[in-house]
Structure 1
Amino acid sequence: MITNRESFLATISQRLGRNAIPAEKLERKWQYSPQYEVLKDTTQDELVEILMEQCKNIHTDIAVISSEHFSETLRATIEKYGSGSIMQWADERLQTLHVSETIEQLDNTTLHTWNPAIHQDNITIVEQANIGITYSDLTLAESGTVVLLSAAHKGRTVSFLPTNSIIVIPKSTIVPRLTQAAQFLREQDHTPSCINFITGPSNSADIEMNLVVGVHGPVRVTYIVIEDI
């Protein structure tokens, strides 16, 4: 039960110089919004260049390719990481890129796909995986950060339990910075149970200021940017 609501709001309105309590929510109008000005007029090609430069700072490998070269780039990255056990999201976007078919052609490789039906057994598999493959919903050029929205078929652990991580990034989803990511998330019909902002492998320098890469999560990360999707 709410008591004294009207008198309480009336007192606040009076202190704010209003004669009455507003009947509806007032729209906020900010005099300055500098967050929207950073990289405001940057083209998509320029955003890719910014992302590539930032990847040097976050110790992340990046390949910018067309979709026709995706399979060979994925194959080369997997072989560089030593093949072995691989866990991927059960994501139709990865299916469109024929990820499963590419991996099944490789030697010394076992592919697992996240399966909501087996529940906790997914964790047992993914924590032993050498490589995890996910798909970025949005990527921030300024910081080199990928945004992964979890779902029943997109387990959150696939991006951080395996030793190595491969993240597929459509060029069309690269945005300037966190400002655009916040706006993107506000526009979603449903908020996922988990939203991961991942900026390459972890960088820790809290012990005698010596930088160590990959202390938490994957030791190595590769972004594969596909230009024509």
Structure 2
Amino acid sequence: MTGTIQNRDSFLGQIANRLGRDRITHLERPKWNYNPQDEVLKDANQDELLEVLKQQCKNIHTEIVITDTGKLSDSLKQVVNKYGGGLVTAWKDERFDQFGLTNLMQEEWPQEGIDLHVWDYTKGEENINIAEHANVGITISDITLAESGTAVLFSSKDKGRTVSFLPTNSVIIIPKSSIVPRMTQAARIIREKVKNGEQVASCINFITGPSNSADIEMILVVGVHGPIKATYIVVEDI
């Protein structure tokens, strides 16, 4: 449903009048002499960005697995088994099928005693309750920041944000094509989507490995308010 803004012009006109100036209706975007945010890794190719991501994962206490579409199913199976299987929750995301994971998730895991719950928005809070008790949450990165090791997740009615932060362990599948240098490029991608009239998620999560906190005496504690462990599975999709 699209809302309608009422009396906007008169409201903004009154504010300008109170400030003692004419109402500004257009601003030229400033042209900066220096743009250092564009210089970081600006000439890096996808292989080089992946190397940066691999090194950063060491700093954020995150395991990283490199695989391709043909071996992704085995890689995901190994990671989930390493975490102990149990209750697994995942987005309802067509990319799982595109990556050839449907058979593993819907056929093999049930036979092996792994209980998979796929997010279903019609079940409301039941999804959240399941995520809270899940051992593993599986999501897919939409944009990945090499410099900080950050996965950017676009939530939707089929992609609940709790899947990434309530389970004990987090597994994020990262298409190699999604890796960009840093936040600068991610913001630009999102801005272009808005500019082109694309539907952009109302909730965008920037996740950098497992939860970390050093608020008390600067002592780092991992997993204090989210997943205790995290694994990124990078898929060579380009």
TM-score, scaled to structure 1: 0.89
* Residues 211 and 25 of structure 1, relative CA distance in 2, 3 Å threshold: closer
The alpha carbon displacement at 1:77 in A equals: 0.3
Identity of counterpart residues, as a percentage? 55
The alpha carbon displacement at 1:31 in A equals: 1.3
Larger C-alpha radius of gyration, 1 or 2?
Answer: 1
Does 2:152 align with 1:152?
no
2:177 pairs with one of 153, 172, 179: 172
Which residue does 2:28 correspond to in 1?
A: 26
Which residue does 2:147 correspond to in 1?
A: 142
Q: In 1, Cα distance between the equivalents of 2:232 and 2:131? A: 19
Q: In 1, Cα distance between the equivalents of 2:14 and 2:125? A: 47
Q: CA RMSD in A?
A: 1.9
Q: In 1, Cα distance between the equivalents of 2:14 and 2:222? A: 56
Which residue does 1:122 correspond to in 2?
A: 127
Q: In 2, Cα distance between the equivalents of 1:67 and 1:195? A: 26
Q: What amino acid sits opposite 1:141 in the alignment?
A: A
Q: What amino acid sits opposite 1:217 in the alignment?
A: G
Which residue does 1:192 correspond to in 2?
A: 201
Q: What amino acid sits opposite 2:21 in the alignment?
A: F
Q: In 2, Cα distance between the equivalents of 1:149 and 1:219? A: 22
The alpha carbon displacement at 1:179 in A equals: 0.3
Q: What amino acid sits opposite 2:92 in the alignment?
A: A
Q: In 1, Cα distance between the equivalents of 2:44 and 2:90? A: 33
Q: In 1, Cα distance between the equivalents of 2:133 and 2:150? A: 25
The alpha carbon displacement at 1:5 in A equals: 5.2
Which residue does 1:85 correspond to in 2?
A: 87
TM-score, scaled to structure 2: 0.86
Gaps of 5+ in 2: 1-9
Q: What amino acid sits opposite 1:157 in the alignment?
A: T
Which residue does 1:16 correspond to in 2?
A: none
2:227 pairs with one of 218, 222, 227: 218
The alpha carbon displacement at 1:25 in A equals: 3.8
Q: In 2, Cα distance between the equivalents of 1:34 and 1:161? A: 37
Any conservation in 1 of the 2:69–2:100 contact (CA below 8 Å)?
no
